[in-house]
Amino acid sequence: MLPSVWRGNPTADSPHIPVLYREVVALLAAKPGATVVDATFGAGGHARLVADAMDGRGCYVAIDRDPSVRDHFAAFVRDHPDMRTRFVRGNFSLALRNLAATGLRADAVLFDLGVSSMQIDRSERGFSYAADAPLDMRMDPAETRTAADLVNELPEGELRRIFERYGEERYSRRIAQAIVRRRAEAPLARSSELVDVVRRAIPTPAQFGQGHPARRVFQALRIAVNDELASLQAGLEESLDLLVPGGRLVAVSFHSLEDRIVKDFLRREAHGCICPPDLPVCGCGHEPRLRILTSRVVRPTPGETDDNPRAASARLRAGERTAVTAEAA
């Protein structure tokens, strides 16, 4: 059962429901006095529960590239007056690097990936295929490139590549061709216009399959606009420079591309030698930097998805910073 403050449907005026909140709090294992870095603060749902587990004592560093998050952070600070807090606006990969450069060290780092409920529910942000809005999809409004720029300016082959790689869309060729034909008549400016193009491009039976027919295209464009996968790979690397020996890394992802990056990163950093198997002697000197805490991916329970249908695609993985390489680093 969800805490009462999060029961019911999330709205633009209330915090989004924190996904896998029990598992996140347990695996972060943040004790009173700990330093926690939240790489994707959002509406602060996880932050409040983690801070409660810390008895409201310690240091909480919140990172987010969305300026609208500041109001949620201000509320978090008011509710936890004994916490030392800091808000860093920007892409978490760069923010984590800068924090490490200042000498900050953390007992836990949390990544809650993907687009947050508050962003989806604000139709003017253009993330949702369910509401008509400008084709934007920028997590940071200060960035210059929007989804409209991509669909109206990229060559057909590049659009197809984005839909295939980031959306795993089987009809990527047909959709890219349809977009190019449509924009020759007039630029695509609204989410409803893109949805209409996608619907017309794919076979009729596919329009009634699992999920909305434009879901994969919207996911692909959002990832491309915000360079999400490259940021995730870099952010995971940077987080290791922040974590103290025994520090915890927890990542919640929402589609297979994110989860694969997290899984591969944990596996690689949990192994020693990474030389090609045909080399007779190790030349890399690589030592394990993490111990995997989740032998299998953690998924929401049926009860949680009943309370929060958006949790259905969530996947959680976690690791613990080893002492040997942390001392050698």
pLDDT over 70 at 305, yes or no:
yes
Number of residues written out for the chain: 329
Average pLDDT on 131-145 reads 89
> pTM score, two decimals?
0.85
| Angle of the 21-28 helix axis to the 45-53 helix axis, nearest 10 | 50
Rg (CA), the chain: 21
Mean pLDDT of 183-202: 95
Q: What percent of the chain has pLDDT over 90?
A: 72
pLDDT in tens, 11-67: 334 445 789 999 999 999 999 999 999 999 999 999 999 999 999 999 999 999 999
Torsion angle, alpha carbons of 119, 140, 96, 108, to 10:
-10
- Range in 75-79, 212-216, 288-292, 312-316 the model is least confident about: 212-216
Which domains does the chain carry? Answer: 4-118+228-328 (3.40.50.150), 125-226 (1.10.150.170)
- Checking DSSP bridges between strand 243-253 and strand 315-321, what pairing results, if any? antiparallel
